[in-house]
Each structure stands twice: as C-alpha cells, then as structure tokens.
Amino acid sequence: MPPRARSAWFRTLGLLMLCMAGAALLGLAIGHPWPVVTLAAFGVLAWHYWRLRRVLQRLTARRRLPPPEGVGVWNEMDRLLHRGQVEMRGRKRRLVEMLRAYRAVAAALPDAVVVVERNSQRVQWFNQAAGPLLGLRYPGDIGVPLVQRLQPLPLAHWLAAGRNAEPLETASPLDPSVTLSLRLIPYSENLWLLVARDVSRLLQLEQMRRDFVANVSHELRTPLTVVHGYLDLIDDGQYPELTPMLAEMQRQSQRMAQLVEDLLTLSRLESQDGLPAEEQVALAPMLSTLRREAAALSQGQHTITVEDIAGVDLVGSGKELHSAFSNLVANAIRYTPAGGEVSVRFRPDDAKDNPGGVVLEVRDSGYGIPAAHLPRITERFYRVSTSRSRESGGTGLGLAIVKHVLQLHQARLKIRSEVGRGSTFACHFSRDRVRPRSRAEADTGTDTTGTHA
C-alpha cells in the first residue's frame, strides 16, 4: 500500500478507536456504558454509510465532481477514484483525437478506400473518394454487399481469391473512360481493405511512351535503308583506302537497323494484350531452324546439340516463339567463347508446379552471368558488360523480347548461371499450351541426336 493510503487508513482506525473509547468513558461516567457505546457504534456506522454513498455518487455521476478535500480512508479512496477518472478521460480524449486524425487522413486520400467485411463481403466504411471513383453513397451503401453494389465490375471471382487476388485493372462503374486499379488488402482477421486508384493518366502516359518509341523506330527505318543501300554501292572496290571505314560503317548501320527492328518488335509485343494468332506451332521444324541459325552464327566454333525429347507441339504465335527462341540461341553463341558448347533441349517439365508442361532450354558453357545481375537481366538495354555486348553485335533488347513473348504465352523464363561455367535459359510452358504432334510431322523425323556444327 502506498504510504499516503496507509497513513489515511491508520488515521481513520485511530479516529474510530478514539470515538469508541470516548463513548465508553462517557457511558461509565453516566453509569450506562453499553447503551452509549452502542449509540456511538451506530453513529460510526451511519457516518461510514454516508461516505460510501459519496463514493457511489462519484462512480455513477455523469457530470464531473470536484476533487475531495480532507484526510481519512474514504477521502483517500475518493481521491484515487477521481485521479483514475481524470486519467481515463485524458486517454479517451487522446484516442478519439487519434481516431479522428486517422479518419481525416483516410477521407482525404485521393484513392478510394473501402472497408469490407470478409465473410459477408458487405461494405463497412468508405472514404470520400469512393464516391466519385466507385459511386458509393453514404449512408445508403453501408452494409450493402460490395459485389451487388459495384455490379458492372467483375469482382465476384476476384474477391473469392482473397489474399491471393492480383491487382485488377478495370473501367470505373461511373465512367468507362476512367481506368481503375483495384487492390485487396486483408488487414485483420475479418476485415479487408479495397483500394481503388485512378490509373488513367498513367496508362495514357505509358501509351504515349509506346507510341513515341514505335513512331521513332518506324521513321528511322527508311533513312537507314537508304544509308545502307548507298554504302553497298560505294563499297565496290573502287576506293581500296576506304574499305576498312566502309566496312565499319556497314557494320554500324546494320546494328542500327537491328536495333530499330528489335524496338518495333517490342512495341508490337507490348501493344497486344493477347496473341495475334493462336496456331499450332510445329516444334520439329522450328528446332531444325534454330540449329541452322546457331550453326550459321557459330561458324563452326562451337559444339551445337539440339534434342527433341518432348515430341509435342505448342499453341501460340509461331513467329513470336521463333523470335524468342532464336534470341536465346544467338545469346548462347555470342556469349560463349570459341570451342564451347551450346545445347537446345525441348523436354517435358519435371517441376511439380507445372504438371504436363514442357520446357525449351538453351544451355551454354560460356562466360555466365554474375548472380547480382540476374534480377534485372530482362530489362531493356540492361547489359552485364556493355563492351562485350557491343562487340558481339547485341542490341540489349533480346531478353526483353523473350520475356514479353513468354508473358503472352503465359510461360515463365527461368535463368540459371554460373560465372565461368555457363548459363541455362529455360522457357516453361504450361500443359494448356501443349498439343500432340501431328502424324505427318512426327514421321518426318526430328533432331533427336547431337549435331556438331
């Protein structure tokens, strides 16, 4: 017990004993000790009841009572209660202020924020921006199922995915020209946060960037063809002193032409949401073509093997798939020193998360890529070594093209590499992309054996 409370308790005990002793003395003096002591005891009891009433009053009073004055155990108890009440009021005030501040922040956000009850998927709360972006109205929409309220939006499946729901891009239910990006954030056991952001401007800027790159590349094509043509014309052996210069100019203009072609390919891939054509792509002739291309690039400097173990075809765009695979093969040759090995394998996928899938794998025994570069290697113009890439005639866009083509085919690119030992680029296709090979094609026979180019 704190000293102040202990002394109040002793003081009240002392007063009680003094009262009773005084009453006993008075009773003895007038010759009736027991009635006087009993009377005094009742008096003390009445006083205690009266103080108890004061304490109850403080506990139940709606208005603030002044702090007690005086000493004694009841006053001390009253004082402690008063102090507790003052502290609690302070805490409550601070909490309410904090809650108001948080609500003000959430209300002022430019993104729509909606609190949704997880099981019933009913709207619990939303901020101001949810009005203009999602068309929610207060208070009518509180407690209404979200899917029903935002009917035109394809939310039912998306909400069902819950925690795993990928951000969804969709038109606003109020204005189809506004594109919203929706995210679902589970923030407690039974509450979700739906955040909707207007991304129309971002998409517009992205489109402008794509158009700009596509237009510039397109405009560069014609002047480059002209320059190329004239260079060919000049280089007819008339000016032997200019030959090395002309050869370099031709090499560089060819590089530029390749760059423009790659940029145009990337723009085309980026601007299509789905594949232009979903055809059965015959893999046997494609593998033969890859082998021929590899042999032409290598010019006999590498051991090239092509294996067709899967014996199936793919569904997708033959042109895009060929562009992706030949980029990988070209890289393998370009980043492998003479005498190295390059192998292309088309095999069933043994990964557990891709049953029935297939892999096209390009492996080399070349320079390899340091692990730190792997996460960014598919970015445009990202190079491990700029000089090596330029020397080998690279545009810096090959792997970006590969990534986009695979994305359009819902396939994944996995890269394994070890510096000094080589790299493996594996394209994993799901079973939905696999088709049995037609008889005619199977009969023509494919490269199942190693080929030394």
Contact residues toward ligand ADP (CB under 6 A) are: 327, 331-332, 335, 364, 366-369, 377, 382-385, 389, 394-400, 423
305 vs 389, which CB is nearer to ligand ADP?
389
Nearest-approach distance from CB 182 to ligand ADP, in angstroms: 33
192 vs 367, which CB is nearer to ligand ADP?
367
- Residue 360 dihedral angles phi and psi, to the nearest 5°: -105, 120
- Which residues, at least 6 apart from 260, have a Cβ–Cβ distance to it below 8 Å? 217, 220, 221, 224
Using CA atoms, how far apart are residues 306 and 325, in angstroms rounded to an integer? 13
Using CA atoms, how far apart are residues 78 and 70, in angstroms rounded to an integer? 10
| Amino acid identity at 189 | E
Nearest-approach distance from CB 265 to ligand ADP, in angstroms: 12
Structure tokens at 361: 């794998």
73 vs 304, which CB is nearer to ligand ADP?
304
Nearest-approach distance from CB 304 to ligand ADP, in angstroms: 14
Dihedral over Cα of 270, 276, 279, 281: its sign = negative
Using CA atoms, how far apart are residues 237 and 246, in angstroms rounded to an integer? 10
| Amino acid identity at 363 | R
For the chain, the first-to-last Cα distance in angstroms comes to: 95
68 vs 398, which CB is nearer to ligand ADP?
398
Nearest-approach distance from CB 432 to ligand ADP, in angstroms: 27
Contact 398/323 with Cβ under 8 angstroms?
A: no
Nearest-approach distance from CB 354 to ligand ADP, in angstroms: 23
37 vs 297, which CB is nearer to ligand ADP?
297
Task: Give alpha helix (H) positions in 311-372.
Answer: 318-334
Nearest-approach distance from CB 293 to ligand ADP, in angstroms: 15
326 vs 389, which CB is nearer to ligand ADP?
389
Q: Is 362 strand, coil or helix?
A: strand
Nearest-approach distance from CB 329 to ligand ADP, in angstroms: 9
The residue length of the chain stands at 453
179 vs 336, which CB is nearer to ligand ADP?
336
